[in-house]
Structure 1
Amino acid sequence: MVVVFVLVAVAVLALLAGVHRYVWRRLIGDTTARGSLARRVGTVAAFVLPLLTVGALVSSRSGVPFPVQQVLAWPGYLWLAALLYLTLALLVGEAVRPLLSRFLARRAAARQTAPVDVSVGAPAVQVPAAAEPGPATDGSTRTDPAPDTEAPAPPVADPSRRLFVARAVGGAAALAGLGTVGLGTYGVLRGPRTKRITVRLAGLPRSAHGFRIAMVSDIHLGPILGRAHTRRVVDAINATSPDLVAVVGDLVDGSVADLGPAAEPLAGLEARHGSYFVTGNHEYFSGAAEWVDHVRELGLHPLENARVEIAGFDLAGVNDVAGESEGQGPDFARALGDRDRGRASVLLAHQPVVIDDAVEYGVGLQLSGHTHGGQLWPGNLVAELANPTVAGYERYGDTQLYVSRGAGAWGPPVRVGAPSDITVVELASPQA
């Protein structure tokens, strides 16, 4: 196992080194002069930025003081996203590069061979006719030298043209890549948008028709997203006037000691039937037991493999599967085993992969998060390999599943193709 881990680590490091070398060559090596200030600055950045990324990743799990984590997180994580989109943009540029070079070469050749424009009224220039072979003055027949039929030398590539192409393609790639990261960062810092769906729930009585659950997942408070982000999320939820709030895991990336103040605005959540919480996998990296106690102090009700009856339906919650390493994993029998299956049921479970257990226990609706919708395109393609549903609504037999993209971001505070959200789930009774 250790050997496999080492081999994988070496392969990942080699890949990252190769990608950084490629990005440096296209953005710096091909576009700047040797010894220039721009090349020196770009070369230093090519070494420093990946070190900051490694520092940001390692510091969050190695007990580094929280202020140091905050200093490393912004440049380190943002560079991770920038590297992805700069690489993708440069790869697209590889297809553009030869086309642009060919176009410029043809235009230059056309200019060199263009006919001279003779103005009207200018004196005509008499061009002597080609001399015909004839007798020489000494009586012999004159023979002109044979025309030079040797093929012209192939054109030499113009260094200035190569530099122009490199700078044009590199500049466009930098603009596209960094622009994408900038817009994706703005989308996260702006806060989540509100979505609304209606779910027809079997067994729901007429009296509960229209019951609204505001669900939010993957807030990911940490060295980047802090108290201000929590405030934005709480304000967005309260603006929907929900009957119940469900916080479906991955609230934090850090300890209560570091992030307790950042989570305090959760005490301001307003819902007629209260606010509920289940753990996500990141809680088990951050001290799940301490966080369960802390959210309880903030007024949320943790559902640790437990169930409550609310307004004519059962609301259940299970621990995240990451808790299995601590003996605190999901226990569906404890949460759902003895319930009346004739009643409507809603299950809060962080990861959508437990949908098969939900089907087995006759759950009507499962609410999940975890996937972030892929967060950074084309990450959704990877997320699809590990999750039955990446985002949105699907049915699995008689059980319905809704997966939120989440309200925050892990690692880079950037989302591309997967905007953050909170979702108001309105329950509909078949009897209404």
Structure 2
Amino acid sequence: MFIPIFTAVMSSLALYVCLRLIVPLPISLGKRLLVCAAVVLVANRFIVQRQFGLVLPDGVFLVAAWLHAAVVLAFALALATDIAGLILRIAGVRLPSLARCAVLLAASLALAAVGVHQAVRVPPVVEVTLRFPNLPPALEGFRIAHLADLHIGPLFGREWVDQVVDRTLAARPDLIALSGDVIDAPPAVVRGDVEPLARLAAPYGVHVVAGNHEYIHGVDLWLEIFERLGLNVLYNRHTVIDVDDARMTVAGLADRFGLGSWQGEAPDLDKALDGAPRKDADGFRLLLAHQPYDAKDAPIHDIDLQLSGHTHGGQILPLQSISARFHGGYVSGYYTVETMRLHVSNGTGLWAGFPVRLGVPSEITLITLSRCEDVLLAHCE
């Protein structure tokens, strides 16, 4: 169902761009038709690659991604200026059509270049301290590295993964959490690209949950590969780690894709915590759940901190509020959800289908736990 919907949306965007920005250009009809055909093809480049199994060289892939992003941004800019133009015409002001087309096409190409560059960079380590009432003293200063949405595949290969691993290890976390969408392709395509993940190591383990892209590309097989790489797979299950006198329960949910027709488990927090020690003064509960929507059920299970991704932070700053509507109101950063903290990462990588970031930088998040003397979480900001 995804492919026809995505194709229809992309084709509609491309046709709008053609009608508003290509047709008015002072070139022959044949050239206009040729350019419009190219625009439609570029807009659907991800589906074309997927359907025909095309593996593009890195340079060609980036150019295709840039042109694809330019079409999407050209649509947004054309629509915005059409609305503005309508308002101006009502006020009796008219803009030269040819100049408008040239400016919007140039602006779209420039913004797309910036957006793709921001998307494919190796992200920096972003440090933040989260404070909790009644945090066990042994967990004061405990450091968690959160990697979300690596999307290892056509866009992010082995060299990029190696650099992400290097930066994560250099931050010296006590625990490393991967909150799903680690990959963006079947094992046969990117098995070698994920191998650097085997170098991830931390005193209290490297823990991973499945995201929707693991389901798309074979969740059971990918979870087996993650285990062979030395990652602790939390698939509706938990593990308990002792940090001096404190006991930390690290639980992981299956993804919400399991609620549909995809093969694999559906998220079940009761199952994930089955047999976990009861929450007490010396305990802390950490939950890894790919989609932040699951935060609504976490507080009743005494979760202290949930780590999620999936939203990519909205990717483009003005789109954050729209993205939040589809994810329970959560899109980027830190939230207080009743008695729990939630961190929604902007993402370490990005889906190859639309690799653009504007105003929403990628990140490797390093979270330091600290104690708050107030008994109310809301007062610990």
Q: Which bracket does the TM-score occupy, shorter chain normalised? A: 0.7 to 0.9
| Conserved 8 A contact 1:69-1:223 | no
- Tell me by how many angstroms 1:213 deviates: 0.3
Structure 2 letter corresponding to 1:320: D
- Tell me by how many angstroms 1:420 deviates: 0.9
In structure 2, do the counterparts of structure 1 residues 332 and 57 end up closer, same or farther at CA, with 3 Å as the change threshold?
A: same
In structure 2, do the counterparts of structure 1 residues 18 and 329 end up closer, same or farther at CA, with 3 Å as the change threshold?
A: closer
Separation in structure 2 between the aligned mates of residue 82 and residue 244 of structure 1, nearest angstrom: 39
The 5 A counterparts of 1:199-214 are 199-214=130-145
When normalised by structure 2's length, the TM-score is 0.84
Please, what is the CA RMSD of the aligned residues? 3.2
- Tell me by how many angstroms 1:93 deviates: 4.0
Q: Bigger shift: 224-233 or 397-406?
A: 224-233
The 5 A counterparts of 1:211-222 are 211-222=142-153
| Conserved 8 A contact 1:201-1:344 | no
Structure 2 letter corresponding to 1:393: Y
Separation in structure 1 between the aligned mates of residue 273 and residue 372 of structure 2, nearest angstrom: 23
Structure 2 residue aligned with 1:326? 263
1:47 to 37, 40, 47: 37
- Tell me by how many angstroms 1:252 deviates: 0.9
Structure 1 letter corresponding to 2:26: T
2:305 to 360, 365, 376: 365
**Does the alignment pair 1:345 with 2:339?**
no
The 5 A counterparts of 1:186-201 are 186-201=117-132
| Conserved 8 A contact 1:49-1:75 | no
Separation in structure 1 between the aligned mates of residue 292 and residue 186 of structure 2, nearest angstrom: 25
Q: Give the 3-state SS of the residue equivalent to 1:257 in structure 2.
A: helix
- Tell me by how many angstroms 1:425 deviates: 0.9
Separation in structure 2 between the aligned mates of residue 82 and residue 231 of structure 1, nearest angstrom: 29
Query: Could you tell me the percent identity over the aligned residues?
Result: 32
Q: Give the 3-state SS of the residue equivalent to 2:235 in structure 1.
A: coil
Structure 1 residue aligned with 2:356? 414
The 5 A counterparts of 1:381-420 are 381-388=321-328, 389-410=330-351, 411-420=353-362
Structure 1 residue aligned with 2:366? 424
Structure 2 residue aligned with 1:298? 229
**Structure 2 unaligned runs (5+)?**
375-381
Separation in structure 2 between the aligned mates of residue 354 and residue 361 of structure 1, nearest angstrom: 12
Separation in structure 1 between the aligned mates of residue 127 and residue 27 of structure 2, nearest angstrom: 55
Separation in structure 2 between the aligned mates of residue 196 and residue 349 of structure 1, nearest angstrom: 21
Kindly tell me the number of residue pairs found equivalent between the two proteins: 361
| Conserved 8 A contact 1:266-1:298 | yes
Q: Give the 3-state SS of the residue equivalent to 2:194 in structure 1.
A: helix
Q: Bigger shift: 64-73 or 251-260?
A: 64-73
**Structure 1 unaligned runs (5+)?**
106-161
| Conserved 8 A contact 1:56-1:72 | no
- Tell me by how many angstroms 1:423 deviates: 0.8
Q: Give the 3-state SS of the residue equivalent to 1:178 in structure 2.
A: helix
Larger Rg: 1
- Tell me by how many angstroms 1:182 deviates: 0.6
Separation in structure 2 between the aligned mates of residue 272 and residue 377 of structure 1, nearest angstrom: 36
Structure 2 letter corresponding to 1:426: T
Q: Give the 3-state SS of the residue equivalent to 1:67 in structure 2.
A: coil
In structure 2, do the counterparts of structure 1 residues 200 and 66 end up closer, same or farther at CA, with 3 Å as the change threshold?
A: same
The 5 A counterparts of 1:138-287 are 165-287=96-218
Separation in structure 2 between the aligned mates of residue 370 and residue 424 of structure 1, nearest angstrom: 18
**Does the alignment pair 1:28 with 2:16?**
no
- Tell me by how many angstroms 1:220 deviates: 0.8
- Tell me by how many angstroms 1:96 deviates: 6.2
Separation in structure 1 between the aligned mates of residue 180 and residue 4 of structure 2, nearest angstrom: 29
Structure 2 residue aligned with 1:112? none
Structure 2 residue aligned with 1:89? 77
Structure 1 residue aligned with 2:316? 376
Structure 1 residue aligned with 2:378? none
Separation in structure 1 between the aligned mates of residue 125 and residue 204 of structure 2, nearest angstrom: 20
| Conserved 8 A contact 1:255-1:286 | yes
| Conserved 8 A contact 1:56-1:73 | no
- Tell me by how many angstroms 1:373 deviates: 1.0
| Conserved 8 A contact 1:384-1:390 | yes
